[in-house]
Amino acid sequence: MKSIMIFSLITLFTGNPFLALGVILVIYFFIDRKFIGILPDFFASWRRRRRIGELERIVRVNPHNGDALLELGVHYFERGGFRSSVDVLEQSYAKMKDWPDVHFYLGAALYETGHKERGLTEIKESVNMNPKISRGLPYIYLIRSVLEHKESGGSTDIWEANLLKYGSVQSFFQAGKLFRRYGEKSGAARFFHEVLENYRISSPTFRRTYRRMAILSKVFLRG
């Protein structure tokens, strides 16, 4: 009833029911981003494209800028441009070998482009340098490398333990989905429960960030 009244009032002010619906959707989007956290961030890809454009201009002017090359490579990686990420991070690698981030993102991009042996070497080097790097994402790849070759009898125990120790709620959720994809129900349940436990004890601000993952974790656990 309240929703109908609100819609009617906005329609009265705007003089157009379709415009009123658009206003309600915009209001809901901002309320969700501020307090709820279920909807995805629709502007994230736009912000990334804008930042990539800025970084591409920077490295054209100064191709020896290692920081810009690293950030550009990470952005390429996060949007799925793995080959472009490898090309850029190889340039950054020579200048920033002491940075674990370079080793991880280069290794992950190599892994995604089929160069798995060298990719795993770089990923392992990154966690040797800093076990907390990238909020646990390197351990997702290390677990994945074992699950892809289950017939070899490898164990994910050490990588799971490190992920639980150094990871974030996002990496726990990704681990749960990874185990689920490979039919490992117990591993999936372990990490989905970890997402829910972190959500339960988190502050309202973090609950907004975790809410969508918590809802999906519940869905996956019931599936």
Q: For residue range 73-85, list pLDDT tens digits in order.
A: 999 999 999 999 9
- Domain 41-130 grouped into CATH 1.25.40.10: yes
**How high is the pLDDT of residue 7?**
46
Report the C-alpha gap between 36 and 39 in whole angstroms: 8
CA distance to 35, 37, 42, 122, 156, per residue, from 31 (Å): 6, 9, 14, 42, 41
Q: What pLDDT sits at residue 113?
A: 97
Q: What are phi and psi of 98, to 5 degrees?
A: -85, 0
pLDDT of residue 9: 56
- Range in 24-28, 137-141, 210-214 with the lowest mean pLDDT: 24-28
CB 168 within 8 A of CB 135: yes
CB 159 within 8 A of CB 190: no
In eight-state DSSP terms, residue 150 is: G
Share of the chain above pLDDT 70, in %: 80
Other Cβ atoms less than 10 A from the Cβ of 43: the count is 11
Q: Assess contact for 214 and 196: CB atoms under 8 A.
A: yes
Residue with tokens 């209001």: 27
In this predicted structure, the answer to whether residue 220 has a pLDDT above a threshold of 80 is yes
